[in-house]
Structure 1
């Protein structure tokens, strides 16, 4: 379909990934399919899809779509130049109908689809893309998710405040944008599916000022390009979006989606039982197997491209310059027992930063696994025999019932080898600020794929360029930094994967984290829900779902 498209890395990724979910029986006429959706009769239009969401999004401004819930809603409000097929994760055209490469792969020409409308009815043109992307890159914006634009010539100057616009971003005419990269970049096109680079009306953002993307947003200021448009956000209660009738793509079936916000999984589950929800995205710990039995054919086990880990702040004591202490904790953590008990067998142990199923995953990677004797051995090497002299370590996590149970289990395991911890839970907004500012000491984080490429789990989490944004361990290694560049510029797939294998070996050897789980999520949907797709990015496609009467 696209000229030179088969030569891009995105198609290689699509053929290597599996987005298969365990899904059965979405409604009385439904039959499960291998893609993790449901084959149904003719869709019915209308109705409100009531989405039970655990914890509030932190922001709906594209520049700050850095966590699951913000991304979940943002992807419906903002279309980018490309999008991901929810079943295969293949990169497909969206606002850009096609793109071409120069012979050296450094210049990409995007051809903008004519007739794409903003939610206020005006047409999207090339200058809108330039304005949005330059704003995303700007120093004053201070976006933690501007990384898709880093390869563009002039990004560093705009990001540092030395320039207002990227020299590598040009408008050729109203429907053509030319992007010049510093070097060929195998992940660039794929990364553009992140809603952070989605297109919105910049005049609305300017009018809203500091309120843009917050609960104070209005439909007159938060103006996107997606299949749904913004209606309202009641802080800590719900977010409402409604279908956009002038959307250029396939028309959606439901009239609106209401994301009902809950602090605890058990409250959402009870609301589902009462008939007040069509879907719940997280289940309470200790009840998952019972829920599967209670709602036969209505649960999804979504094997997501996610790695959950314990991070160490390498800029703070006691972890700074103390590899032995970090390894002691790694050997003290028994992830399999936590999976078997707290997580009820749902999830698998991680062996490094890249999750199983992602291109570049190395199943032979040898990260430390549970060994109590070795934990005590390394604790002594760290200068704290049996934990003597080691101050209490603060272990922080964002609050959910499951996160709390897991944290308590890890706390008990560390205590067995002499490591004392203090648990600290925070709501998401405060938590992410603490991580990015370097205030945390040891912390829990789950990193789900922003885009289906190993670069997203390695460079984005362990490059010095991401300090204060996504690299919350503040890890840095000049040799690894050089390999990050090689991984992006290498066009041979086998050679590229070999580079990422080496990166993983080096990062694991320095233990900036304990990689605990490759996460599987148990999710629950109503009997009247049809054509519901959950991707391996753990994103739910509201453009195809419909509700039977």
Structure 2
């Protein structure tokens, strides 16, 4: 689970390569998806690459990978996703039952404990979900509770367009669709049928919260308490986050390590250099400078792996009220056609990406190729003609913003060069100091122009690549896209009891995005890991994350 709804923080890029530079060679073999060694000893400490979380570590308010990677290790949810296939497997849930996809009865396993020693009970889920859904709490993942009956009554509807909660109290504080039956049973009633609700319940927004959370949510965010295999120890801002094994963890998804330390890096090359020198044990990002001619394979022989994962890179347009220069869909389509994805992927990513032809990752059921059509195919002449049809670009120069604490500079500059070459409009790659600041600017609707966005699936479903990002008012709808027909199709898809029929509706909704182009699909990602000679059992999950259950010291 990522992401997503975690917004992906990093995609590797060369520091100095420009588009249309001399072609770089590339290997044709397929690296493995895990370290070849197995087993490993029990105990010890491992360091992994980390980055600055955008927000305090509250599960329902963490929508990016920097914080999400930490929460994945310390939380347990109703459902756990298989690290290799992403298939949902019951975790705290003993049973999730429904005869109509609208009324669900959830039975918990007994004995799960939070890190503060209290037992996980039904009320810990119900209270947590009510907190997430209540508008004044301003939880960025509160949107995930929308299908539950009564959600609308918990939302703010004040007259202040910038802050609808200002001077307004919602009609209710609790979802009518959640009912505690006993300590280990609760029911969920959704407003409409939701065919994939059980699949969603492994996402961090659905984590239970201990009673202590509600005494001081702010303090909790600085030192979170979960029910997972590792507990939170400390957070030294901009430096590291430390976790240790939870002795009373009773689930079946534990790990061998005693301690995990996320070392926070401002630069991907620095993390990679530390892995080479055995000063960092695992990096989930190999910079493209090491991808050229498969250099990383020589740098890290038998210490690397690669896997196609549920991640897509996109470029999103600022909301029209923030920057009206990109409001015309024809301008957006022209820009998309002006991007030479295959050349950028070849020269900067050594062909380790796949050009995107739509907004949904190929790894999930329901994926349909070529949903973007001609708008995602590079054609300089058609791009220029489409821009002329729109009356040209009136905003002077185009800009693409990116977070400077990861290796995005090269591919963003290459993209701008491609746009400039095809459209004859100046395009400037615009760095923002770090991911936290970058995301804060986007959330506050202060980021103008275009900006890089990435999506790592929260759960393995076509719906997860559409609803949280493009549905009206959704938590990760950075461009404030709104299309009633799109929303209608999503609702109709969610009501289907047949998976194939649901996917067909979602595919119809995705096709509408080509008409409006709220975000430009760039490429589907492949995760490349590197590790020190001290560890074994390094596995890349289907989400592109580290599988801490298998990681161990040799």
Which bracket does the TM-score occupy, shorter chain normalised? 0.7 to 0.9
1:325 matched residue in structure 2: 331
> C-alpha offsets along residues 71-104 of structure 1, whole Å, 9 cap, x if unaligned?
1110111111111111221111111111221x32
C-alpha deviation, 1:367, in angstroms: 4.3
Unaligned runs of 5+ in 1: 1-9, 11-32
The 8 Å contact of residues 54 and 282 in structure 1, kept in 2 or not, is answered as no
Alpha carbons of structure 1 residues 423 and 34: separation in structure 2 relative to 1, 3 Å: closer
Q: Aligned to 1:483, what secondary structure does the other structure show? A: helix
1:335 matched residue in structure 2: 341
Q: How does 1:175-186 map to 2 (within 5 A)?
A: 175-186=184-195
1:434 matched residue in structure 2: 441
Please give the alpha-carbon distance, in whole angstroms, between the structure 1 residues aligned to 2:428 and 2:468.
29
1:106 matched residue in structure 2: 102
Match for 1:130 among 121, 126, 139?
A: 126
Please give the alpha-carbon distance, in whole angstroms, between the structure 1 residues aligned to 2:269 and 2:463.
36
1:363 corresponds to 2:369: yes
2:48 matched residue in structure 1: 51
1:199 corresponds to 2:208: yes
Q: Between 492-501 and 444-453, report the one with greater CA deviation.
A: 492-501
1:159 matched residue in structure 2: 155
1:139 matched residue in structure 2: 135
1:306 corresponds to 2:302: no
Alpha carbons of structure 1 residues 290 and 57: separation in structure 2 relative to 1, 3 Å: farther
Please give the alpha-carbon distance, in whole angstroms, between the structure 2 residues aligned to 1:276 and 1:61.
30
Match for 1:449 among 433, 444, 457?
A: 457
The 8 Å contact of residues 139 and 158 in structure 1, kept in 2 or not, is answered as yes
Give the root-mean-square deviation of aligned CA atoms: 2.1
1:517 corresponds to 2:523: yes
TM-score between the two structures when normalised by the length of structure 2: 0.87
1:254 corresponds to 2:257: yes
Q: How does 1:212-251 map to 2 (within 5 A)?
A: 212-214=220-222, 217=223, 222-250=224-252, 251=254
Q: Aligned to 1:213, what secondary structure does the other structure show? A: helix
Please give the alpha-carbon distance, in whole angstroms, between the structure 1 residues aligned to 2:328 and 2:478.
17
The 8 Å contact of residues 530 and 547 in structure 1, kept in 2 or not, is answered as yes
TM-score between the two structures when normalised by the length of structure 1: 0.87
Q: Aligned to 2:348, what secondary structure does the other structure show? A: coil
Q: Aligned to 1:539, what secondary structure does the other structure show? A: coil
2:117 matched residue in structure 1: 121
Q: How many residues align?
A: 504
| Structure with larger RCO (C-alpha < 8 A, sep 6+) | 2
Please give the alpha-carbon distance, in whole angstroms, between the structure 1 residues aligned to 2:533 and 2:367.
36
The 8 Å contact of residues 286 and 344 in structure 1, kept in 2 or not, is answered as no
> C-alpha offsets along residues 403-444 of structure 1, whole Å, 9 cap, x if unaligned?
111111112112222222333222222222222232222111
2:196 matched residue in structure 1: 187
The 8 Å contact of residues 400 and 427 in structure 2, kept in 1 or not, is answered as yes
2:430 matched residue in structure 1: 424
Q: Between 523-532 and 260-269, report the one with greater CA deviation.
A: 523-532
C-alpha deviation, 1:55, in angstroms: 4.7
Alpha carbons of structure 1 residues 85 and 234: separation in structure 2 relative to 1, 3 Å: same
Alpha carbons of structure 1 residues 34 and 434: separation in structure 2 relative to 1, 3 Å: closer
Please give the alpha-carbon distance, in whole angstroms, between the structure 2 residues aligned to 1:525 and 1:398.
24
Alpha carbons of structure 1 residues 327 and 428: separation in structure 2 relative to 1, 3 Å: same
Alpha carbons of structure 1 residues 155 and 453: separation in structure 2 relative to 1, 3 Å: same
Q: Aligned to 1:341, what secondary structure does the other structure show? A: helix
1:348 matched residue in structure 2: 354
Please give the alpha-carbon distance, in whole angstroms, between the structure 1 residues aligned to 2:31 and 2:526.
17
> C-alpha offsets along residues 259-279 of structure 1, whole Å, 9 cap, x if unaligned?
001000111122222221110
C-alpha deviation, 1:453, in angstroms: 0.7
1:85 matched residue in structure 2: 82
C-alpha deviation, 1:53, in angstroms: 2.4
Alpha carbons of structure 1 residues 349 and 524: separation in structure 2 relative to 1, 3 Å: same
1:171 corresponds to 2:180: yes
Please give the alpha-carbon distance, in whole angstroms, between the structure 1 residues aligned to 2:363 and 2:52.
27
> C-alpha offsets along residues 124-165 of structure 1, whole Å, 9 cap, x if unaligned?
111111111111111122111123321111122223332111
The 8 Å contact of residues 276 and 532 in structure 2, kept in 1 or not, is answered as no
Alpha carbons of structure 1 residues 40 and 324: separation in structure 2 relative to 1, 3 Å: closer
C-alpha deviation, 1:205, in angstroms: 5.0
Q: Aligned to 1:336, what secondary structure does the other structure show? A: helix
Alpha carbons of structure 1 residues 367 and 55: separation in structure 2 relative to 1, 3 Å: farther
Q: Aligned to 1:342, what secondary structure does the other structure show? A: helix
Unaligned runs of 5+ in 2: 2-29, 157-169
